[in-house]
């Protein structure tokens, strides 16, 4: 495509976006159908309900979906945009779904374009770029995954984990010196102590786990569904969507309860963005409209990933009762803390560097 045609396409896409944001999606739908295709990357069908969502979007709008490398990581997705800047063919992704830190990085590198969906105002401001370059899509919170065949007195908050009843019972779902999920678990414990400054919360979290280790409650094993079922780690601190999926997979053998703690509710967010070089910019924008509609948000929730608009949906009673029944109380998610990128950098550096000195437990 020559520069004049490309410039015309960009102007058309921008005018369509403006029309969509004014309240009518009709022109966007027609333009997307004319393009006829959406190219995605890094969307496994068993992750967050994506399989059903992709199929539904395609059937609803008659748009073919070209799926690139479902197992691609966030870095791979960004690299795919870089590698296909001048390529309008099938290897160029239209959209990406990446970890929080990759959104601002892609913006700074000039790889993504702004677009504000119709439901923009219901996305928490701390989980989106003010200019619309990237926006949170779904999140998990740190929860306690508990084998209730072994643990009869279920802990409801972080402080409970220090009790003698949980000796040799509590594990992180990773090595806190390198794994984000485990690092986040330490930080969440610090938030539960009342610390708000990232550095102080990281310090409080390290001290919490040092005490947990001293009490003999901490198990230096990476907690998984298998270790939970075997009883090696009957309490695992991990993202709620992983814990809830384990509950379904284990099918009562053993019985599993997932508890969102009363305090220190830490959220981990993924974000959506549209490639600046998207071959199908209107289909990309329509995909975003679908994802951030009530229907799309509930699609993620069915996959146990809390959609970014969850509190809005819950307040409006848009979440079906049978789906709510499978989840921890919606009231607990109102307390979720969404750390900024700067917060993450601060607490990750503190925890990874000081774990050995403060806690002194070699997690394997």
Alpha helices in 101-219 (DSSP H): 102-108, 180-191, 198-214
Q: What is the pLDDT of residues 26-64, one digit of tens each?
A: 999 999 999 999 999 999 887 888 999 999 999 999 999
Q: What is the pLDDT of residues 160-173, one digit of tens each?
A: 999 999 999 999 99
Share of the chain above pLDDT 90, in %: 70
Region 203-229: what's the mean pLDDT?
Answer: 96
Mean predicted lDDT score pLDDT of the chain: 90
Element (H, E) at 273: strand 267-275
At 338 the pLDDT is: 86
pLDDT of 242 above 50: yes
pLDDT of 231 above 50: yes
181 pLDDT band, cuts 50/70/90, is confident
- Whole-model pTM: value is 0.73
**What is the chain's length?**
364
Among residues 151, 143, 150, the alpha carbon closest in space to that of 328 is found at 143
Share of the chain above pLDDT 70, in %: 94
Region 224-246: what's the mean pLDDT?
Answer: 93
At 324 the pLDDT is: 87
8 pLDDT band, cuts 50/70/90, is very low
Q: What is the pLDDT of residues 193-205, one digit of tens each?
A: 999 899 999 999 9
Region 270-277: what's the mean pLDDT?
Answer: 96
Q: Are 184 and 170 in contact (CB under 8 A)?
A: no
Question: Rounded to the nearest 5 degrees, what angle is found at the Cα of 108, between the Cα atoms of 105 and 113?
Answer: 95
Q: What is the pLDDT of residues 84-114, one digit of tens each?
A: 998 889 999 999 998 888 899 999 999 999 9
CA–CA dist 319, 330 (Å, integer): 10
At 102 the pLDDT is: 86
First to last CA, the chain: 53
């Amino acid at each position: 495509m020559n520069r004049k045609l490309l410039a015309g396409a960009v102007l058309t896409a921008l005018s369509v976006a403006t029309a969509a944001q004014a309240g009518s999606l009709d022109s966007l739908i027609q333009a997307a159908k004319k393009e006829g295709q959406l190219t995605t990357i890094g969307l496994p069908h068993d992750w967050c309900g994506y399989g059903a969502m992709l199929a539904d979007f395609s059937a609803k709008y008659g748009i073919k979906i070209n799926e690139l490398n479902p197992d691609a990581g966030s870095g791979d997705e960004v690299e795919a945009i870089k590698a296909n800047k001048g390529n309008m063919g099938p290897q160029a992704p239209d959209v990406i779904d990446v970890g929080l830190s990759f959104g601002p990085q892609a913006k700074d590198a000039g790889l993504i374009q702004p677009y504000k969906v119709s439901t923009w105002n219901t996305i928490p401001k701390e989980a989106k770029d003010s200019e619309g370059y990237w926006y949170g899509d779904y999140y998990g919170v740190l929860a306690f995954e508990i084998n209730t065949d072994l643990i009869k007195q279920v802990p409801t908050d972080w402080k409970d984990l220090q009790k003698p009843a949980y000796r040799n019972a509590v594990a992180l779902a990773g090595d806190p010196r390198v794994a984000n999920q485990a690092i986040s678990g330490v930080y969440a414990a610090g938030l539960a102590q009342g610390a708000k400054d990232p550095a102080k919360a990281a310090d409080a979290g390290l001290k919490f786990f040092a005490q947990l280790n001293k009490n003999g409650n901490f198990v230096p094993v990476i907690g998984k569904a298998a270790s939970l079922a075997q009883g090696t780690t009957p309490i695992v601190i991990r993202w709620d969507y992983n814990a809830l999926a384990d509950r379904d997979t284990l099918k009562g053998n053993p019985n599993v309860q997932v508890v969102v703690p009363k305090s220190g509710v830490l959220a981990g967010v993924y974000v959506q963005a549209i490639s600046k070089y998207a071959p199908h910019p209107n289909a990309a924008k329509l995909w975003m409209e679908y994802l951030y509609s009530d229907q799309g948000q509930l699609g993620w929730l069915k996959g146990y990933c809390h959609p970014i608009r969850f509190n809005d949906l819950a307040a409006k009673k848009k979440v079906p009762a049978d789906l709510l029944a499978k989840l921890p109380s919606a009231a607990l998610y109102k307390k979720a803390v969404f750390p900024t990128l700067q917060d993450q950098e601060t607490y990750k550096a503190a925890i990874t560097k000081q774990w050995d000195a403060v806690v002194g437990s070699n997690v394997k």
